[in-house]
């Protein structure tokens, strides 16, 4: 679901970049108010879960691949604003370091996966939680919310892809950017996400949530603000890092993430805007580290990405003002 | 013998005199009191004069800046004397590994080694305490930024990747060095130096320097604060005080050094450091050595020297 560079026109990218600015500003403000300073490192760990789940590529019907996002999971644990920030930072790291998703398209990607996905998922989760009590309601809410949240994001990405040929084409009618119209992009994206990718999102979200609720009950915004025992969460992160080369089993590209040559073969011509567009040369393109075997590169990339996320959120916690609650009595 | 009558009359006289005296004393007291009251009502002219003394503004940036920078250095030095974690290798091995990693990072022509070391640096940084983490990140990013700026001409010549590569290499090297420095107590570092046959005099100099920086820094701070408090208004003779501060510090430093040395001699120090008493090898060292050998083999393989 990561929209690559030049698949959307620069003007479309600019619109979403501008739209995201006030959303990020509000999210930062809200997180400063709602997430206690002690909980920020935990938010970093949650963002790392999101980063790793996006590395697990799953083969989808139609020869493409998809992945979970876990945005709803972070929204359930820390609130939708915190999820917006966490997913956005994970997406920015993926784009800058690993070339996964375009730099110019960061706004669009963050809008789909960082804003709409957690918001929809969290809204449905709350709706179900109010009607079904207890742990059962929470898990059902998480399952339905994450499934619909991911599909809402996929639908938005399909819409962004699909309007490109209608809006941007040359005199002969050849598309300048993404060549597939809405009639192709929506079925192609939704088929995979309504089935396998949606299921993967449900499994990741419910599995991690159930694990955290039983192993680290204070993980999340609602637990006690005393120092949480993070060892089980770190153990789960390590297990996911070791297992992430499984994502290499799915061969082929995700829909809408092909290279220029593959795309030219499929549609019969090179879209002009796509061929001449600016491209960022990422450090570890496609999570590969030079001549290292693919799976080693994948693990090294996963370690670097995970560590970067946790460090960023720890530093953010250090920069925040300490919040002291004078209303609660001392222990 | 005296007549009892005359005795009685003399007593009566004495008592009347005493009464008169006490009355007189009381009168004089009330007089003095009223006089004092009059005095308090009338302030002396010099005290009653309105004061409009405003000290001339003077640029005391020298004193303030020096004091601030000394305080900052002291805060960093006091921050953490270095605490080794559960999985840290022993200090001598740590130094050897650091040198090996720095050499490998500098020599490698491809990014693989640098990226693997970057992963190591980041994972270690995860478990540092917050202030140490902030320092490692600040210093490493500073070094990386400097390296990037220096190699900016390369970007103009079309070699944009080498500028980024140099930046990342600088980040990794600085990060490694900072992490070793922050996770090793100073005493263990000097002990480790001794086990590499570094001369005793060098170690003692480093050891005493490390200890004295904090002490002398505190005294410098005190002197500067004293100078700042005393210099009200415009101080045209400020330059001479720079020499004063320096001179006082120098005298105190030499006295302190002599005192320290005497104290060490009194406790049986004969100028030699015993390497064995300070460094204890840990079991975890084997794991570190093993993984380093694996990484070294990988490095040689990637550079095309081994199993090419």
Rounded mean pLDDT, A200-213: 92
Rounded mean pLDDT, B185-195: 77
DSSP of A126-152, one letter per residue?
HHHHHHS-HHHHHHHHHHHHHHHHHHH
- Model confidence over B193-214: pLDDT tens digits? 877 778 888 888 877 777 777 7
With contacts defined as CB-CB under 8 Å, which chain B residues touch A289? Answer: 111-112, 115-116
Domain A34-319 CATH (choose: 1.10.1760.20, 1.10.579.10, 3.30.450.20, 1.10.3720.10): 1.10.1760.20
Q: How far is A312 from chain B (nearest CA, A)?
A: 10
A307 and B130: CB-CB below 8 Å?
no
- Reported as half-sphere exposure (CB side, CA atoms, 13 A), residue A317 has a value of 21
Contacts of B91 (CB under 8 A, 6+ apart): B84, B184, B185, B188, B189, B191, B192, B279
Residue written as token pair 């944009």: B160
B125 and A311: CB-CB below 8 Å?
yes
Contacts of B158 (CB under 8 A, 6+ apart): none
ipTM for this prediction? 0.84
Nearest to A179 by CA among A258, A118, A121: A258
- Residue of chain A minimizing CA distance to B160: A281
Which of A78-82, A85-89, B34-38, B210-214 is least confident? B34-38
* Beta-strand relationship, A58-59 and A65-66: antiparallel
Q: How far is B106 from chain A (nearest CA, A)?
A: 17
Nearest to B90 by CA among B287, B275, B278, B281: B281
A292 and B112: CB-CB below 8 Å?
yes
A283 and B111: CB-CB below 8 Å?
yes
Average pLDDT, chain A: 86
Q: What is the pLDDT of residue B209?
A: 77
Instruction: Label residue B278 by pLDDT band (50, 70, 90).
Output: low
Instruction: Label residue B79 by pLDDT band (50, 70, 90).
Output: very low
With contacts defined as CB-CB under 8 Å, which chain A residues touch B110? Answer: 290-291
Q: Which of A15-24, A52-61, B159-168, B182-191 has the highest mean pLDDT?
A: A15-24
Contacts of B161 (CB under 8 A, 6+ apart): A281
Nearest to A193 by CA among A232, A134, A160, A146: A146
- Pick A311's closest partner by Cβ from B112, B115, B133: B133
Element (H, E) at B173: helix B160-182
CA B11 to CA B31: how far, in whole Å? 30
pLDDT(A245) > 80: yes
With contacts defined as CB-CB under 8 Å, which chain B residues touch A303? Answer: 119, 122-123
Q: Report chain B residues touching chain A, CB-CB < 8 A.
A: 110-112, 115-116, 118-119, 122-123, 125-126, 130-131, 133-134, 137, 160-161, 164, 168, 302
CA B171 to CA B268: how far, in whole Å? 44
- Model confidence over A137-170: pLDDT tens digits? 899 999 999 999 999 999 999 999 899 888 888 8
Percent of chain B with pLDDT over 70: 76
Distance of CA A244 to the CA centre of its chain: 16
Q: How far is A300 from chain B (nearest CA, A)?
A: 7
Q: Where are the domains of chain A?
A: 34-319
Which 3 state secondary structure label does DSSP give A254? Answer: strand
Q: Where are the domains of chain B?
A: 78-184+274-294+303-308, 198-269
Which 3 state secondary structure label does DSSP give B147? Answer: helix
- Residue of chain B minimizing CA distance to A302: B119
DSSP A18: H
pTM: 0.77
């Amino acid at each position: 679901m990561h929209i690559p560079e030049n698949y959307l026109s620069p003007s479309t990218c600019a619109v979403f970049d501008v739209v995201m600015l006030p959303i990020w500003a509000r999210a930062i403000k809200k997180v400063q108010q709602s997430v206690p300073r002690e909980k920020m490192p935990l938010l970093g760990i949650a963002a790392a879960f999101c980063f790793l789940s996006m590395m697990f590529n799953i083969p989808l019907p139609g020869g493409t691949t998809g992945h979970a996002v876990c945005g709803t999971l972070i929204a359930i644990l820390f609130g939708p604003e915190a999820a917006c920030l966490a997913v956005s930072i994970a997406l920015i790291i993926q784009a800058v370091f690993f070339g996964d998703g375009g730099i110019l398209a960061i706004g669009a990607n963050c809008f789909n996966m960082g804003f709409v996905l957690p918001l929809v998922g969290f809204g449905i989760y709350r709706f179900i939680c109010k009607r079904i009590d207890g742990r059962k309601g929470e898990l059902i809410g998480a399952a339905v919310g994450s499934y619909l949240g991911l599909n809402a994001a996929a639908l938005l990405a399909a819409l962004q892809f699909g309007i490109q040929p209608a809006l941007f084409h040359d005199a002969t009618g050849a598309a300048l950017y993404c060549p597939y119209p809405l009639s192709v992009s929506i079925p192609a994206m939704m088929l995979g996400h309504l089935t396998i990718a949606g299921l993967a999102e449900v499994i990741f979200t419910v599995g991690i949530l159930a694990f955290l609720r039983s192993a680290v009950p204070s993980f999340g915004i609602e637990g006690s603000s005393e120092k949480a025992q993070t060892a089980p969460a770190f153990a789960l992160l390590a297990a996911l890092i070791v297992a992430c080369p499984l994502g290499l089993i799915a061969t082929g590209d995700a829909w809408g993430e092909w290279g220029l040559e593959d795309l030219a073969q499929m549609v019969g011509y090179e879209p002009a805007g796509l061929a001449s567009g600016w491209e960022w040369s990422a450090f570890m393109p496609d999570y590969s580290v030079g001549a290292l075997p693919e799976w080693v590169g994948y693990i090294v990339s996963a370690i670097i990405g995970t560590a970067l996320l946790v460090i960023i959120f720890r530093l953010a916690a250090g920069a925040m003002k300490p919040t002291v609650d004078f209303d609660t009595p001392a222990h | 013998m005296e007549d009892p009558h005359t005795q009685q009359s003399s007593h009566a006289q004495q008592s009347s005199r005493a009464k008169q005296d006490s009355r007189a004393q009381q009168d004089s007291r009330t007089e003095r009191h009223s006089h004092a009251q009059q005095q308090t009502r009338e302030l002396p002219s010099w005290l009653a004069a309105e004061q409009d003394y405003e000290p001339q503004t003077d640029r005391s940036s020298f004193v303030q800046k020096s004091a601030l920078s000394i305080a900052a250095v002291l805060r960093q030095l006091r921050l953490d004397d270095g605490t080794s974690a559960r999985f840290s290798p022993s200090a001598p091995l740590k130094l050897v590994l650091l040198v090996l990693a720095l050499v490998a990072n500098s020599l490698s022509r491809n990014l693989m080694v640098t990226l693997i070391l970057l992963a190591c640096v980041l994972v270690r940084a995860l478990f540092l305490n917050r202030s140490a983490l902030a320092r490692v990140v600040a210093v490493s990013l500073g070094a990386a930024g400097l390296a990037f700026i220096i190699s900016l001409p390369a970007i103009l010549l079309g070699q944009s990747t080498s500028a980024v590569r140099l930046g990342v290499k600088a980040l990794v090297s600085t990060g490694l060095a900072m992490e070793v420095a922050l996770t090793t107590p100073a005493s263990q570092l000097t002990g480790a130096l001794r086990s590499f046959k570094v001369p005793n005099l060098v170690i003692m100099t480093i050891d005493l320097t490390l200890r004295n920086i904090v002490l002398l820094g505190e005294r410098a701070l005190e002197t500067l604060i004293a100078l700042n408090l005393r210099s009200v208004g415009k101080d045209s003779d400020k330059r001479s005080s720079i020499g004063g501060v320096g001179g006082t510090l120098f005298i105190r430093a030499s006295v302190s050094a002599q005192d320290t040395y005497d104290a060490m001699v009194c406790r049986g120090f004969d100028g030699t450091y015993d390497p064995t008493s300070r460094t204890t090898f840990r079991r975890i060292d084997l794991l570190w050595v093993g993984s380093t050998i694996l990484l070294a083999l990988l490095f040689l393989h990637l550079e095309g020297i081994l199993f090419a």
